[in-house]
Amino acid sequence: MGSHLLLLAGIGGHAPAEALDSLSTVSDSVSVVYVSAWNPSDQIRADFQQRDLGGEFVDAADLDAAVTAAVALHGRRPLDGVVTYSELLLRPQAQIADRLGLPGNPPEAVAIAQSKARQRLVFAEHGVPCPGFEIITSERDLAAAAARVGLPGVFKPSLGAGSQGVRLVSTYAELIHSFTVARAEKTAFLQSDEAYLLEEQLALEADGDSGYAAYCSVESLLAGGSAHHLAISDRLPLEHGYVEEGAVLPSRLDPATQAAVIDVADQAIRAIGLTSGAVHTEIALTAQGPRVIEVNARAGGPLPTMFKAAAGYDYAAEIGRSALGRQPAARPAFDQVALLRFLPIPAGSWRLAAQTPADQLLRAFPELLYVSPRFLPGQRVSRQRSMHLASFLVKAADRNAALDVMRRVERALDIRLVPGFGATTGADRD
């Protein structure tokens, strides 16, 4: 019998339809367990049925139900691997692999990777360079944290993704306010972490006059305990606090800096105990050397698409190969530049008055691979589920050309906001 690979989907990460196409190249049959707690499964079910994947499609109500469904599926048709591209589905992925004896990260390592507080403690224990920090679990911890870390500092939830809840706090009153607001905010995670962090402020906004932010990320693939560090992606300057502005692949960093960044990422991955699948490690570039911001036990959201655009490299397929216990078939060889632009929501209360339709932009710019608006004209613009107005990806022959196309697309997108919350049509959406 051939291999049977399970995809966990439901929210975030690489587009499920593209993931199915990639996984079908490394496995004889592909099944899906879809967690419907966030969105109905209609679209991905239709995508699955359009393909001859030889597997089953199963709905699951929540994370625990996903584990139960996968175990039951394994009883009917034994699985050889389980893969997800979503931060929110890493826990059930690890639990399924552990229960069924499949390749994968230990559940404890995934729990550490999903907790910024536990990451920091592990880094301190193993001597991995990272920002100074204090863990906050109640109001009683705030004064001591402010005294030890100092203000300004960076406040962030221990469990989170997409820059949600990350704030620069300059005064003790702002720290109290941020903690109060964070505890009241809803999260898309179907799990909780009562810890928060106050961290040393690092100058991440710009890396001198380079035109880039002073941080980057290492994109890695783990298989059978071996780490394959595939590339480094640069970041565009931060102009809206700590909200992501964009990424560029491959990196412009010199070889010595790249080697130092990869070494620190490798230390962090080993300290956490990750052994399988994609890892996305964000690294601050400081005068004292690279320092780990965070480790994510999955591919950065747009990275599979960026790898394919810049190197013709199917990162999504290689992640599936790792889930089957196989070593990578190849490494990326870059001959293009991929630039992902995020357009942050500015501070304030807004309604989207107008923007150019995506199909019109795609016709006008051949270098443009996709445009993903987060809101429709007339809708209230909310940071509750997204920190961005839109994102788009361009491919070009070199870095300067990619930046030029980015600026022209941004102007042509012509997003217009008006003050106020009054929406005239629809509801907020991702």
Alpha carbon 159 to its chain's center: 13
DSSP string across 117-167:
HHHHHHHHHHT-----EEEE-SGGGHHHHHHHH-SSEEEEESS--TTTT-E
Do 212 and 327 have their domain in common? yes
What is the per-residue DSSP string for 336-373? SEEEEEEEEPPSS-EEEEE---HHHHHHH-TTEEEEEE
Asked if residue 241 belongs to a domain, the reply is no
Residue 265 domain flag: yes
The CATH number of whichever domain residue 222 belongs to comes to 3.30.470.20
For residues 369 and 294, state if they share a domain: no
The reply to whether 221 falls in a domain is: yes
Helix 42-50 crosses helix 16-23 at what angle (to 10 degrees)? Answer: 30
In this structure, are 65 and 162 located in the same domain?
A: no
83 and 192 in one domain?
A: no
Low pLDDT (below 70) residues in the chain: 1, 161-163, 188-191, 421-430
CA-nearest of 316, 304, 320 to 369 is 304
- Give pLDDT, residue 429: 34
CA distance 161 to 87: 8
| pLDDT (0 to 100) of residue 190 | 56
CA 391 to CA 342: how far, in whole Å? 4
Point out the domain boundary residue: 271, 302, 332: 332
CATH no. for residue 82? 3.40.50.20
CB 360 within 8 A of CB 345: no
195 with 207, same domain: the answer is no
If asked whether residues 98 and 154 sit together in one domain, one would say: no
The answer to whether residues 153 and 214 belong to one domain is no
Answer yes or no: do 388 and 412 share one domain: yes
Q: What is the pTM of this model?
A: 0.93
Residues 208 and 323 in one domain: yes
| 144 and 188, same domain (yes or no) | yes
- Can you tell me which residue has the tokens 């209609």? 42
Q: How far is CA 234 from the centre of its chain?
A: 15
Q: Is 244 contained in some domain?
A: no
Assigned domain for 158 exists: yes
The residue among 64, 81, 102 that closes a domain is 102
Q: Which domain holds residue 23?
A: 4-102
Both 359 and 428 in a single domain?
Answer: yes
* Beta bridge partner(s), residue 278: 221
The domain spanning residue 151 has which CATH number?
Answer: 3.30.1490.20
The residue among 332, 350, 378 that closes a domain is: 332
Look at the chain and report how many structural domains it folds into: 4
Question: For residue range 268-322, what is the model confidence (pLDDT) as tens digits?
Answer: 999 999 999 999 999 999 999 999 999 999 998 899 999 999 999 999 999 999 9
Backbone angles phi, psi at 425, to 5 degrees: -140, 150
Same domain, 283 and 314: yes
The pLDDT of residue 198 is 97
Residue 111 counted as domain residue: no
DSSP string, 241-289: TTS--EEEES----HHHHHHHHHHHHHHHHHHT--SEEEEEEEEEETTE
Give residue 187's pLDDT.
Answer: 72
Positive or negative CA dihedral for 116, 121, 123, 124?
Answer: positive
Q: Residue 349: give its domain's CATH number.
A: 3.90.1170
**Contacts with 8 (C-beta within 8 Å, 6 or more apart), sequence order:** 32, 33, 35, 66, 70, 82, 83, 84, 86, 89, 92, 93, 96
Looking at residue 237, what DSSP letter applies? P
The pLDDT of residue 39 is 92
Helix/strand/coil percentages in the chain, nearest 5: 35, 25, 40
Q: Does residue 370 lie in a domain region?
A: yes
For position 300, what pLDDT does the model report?
84
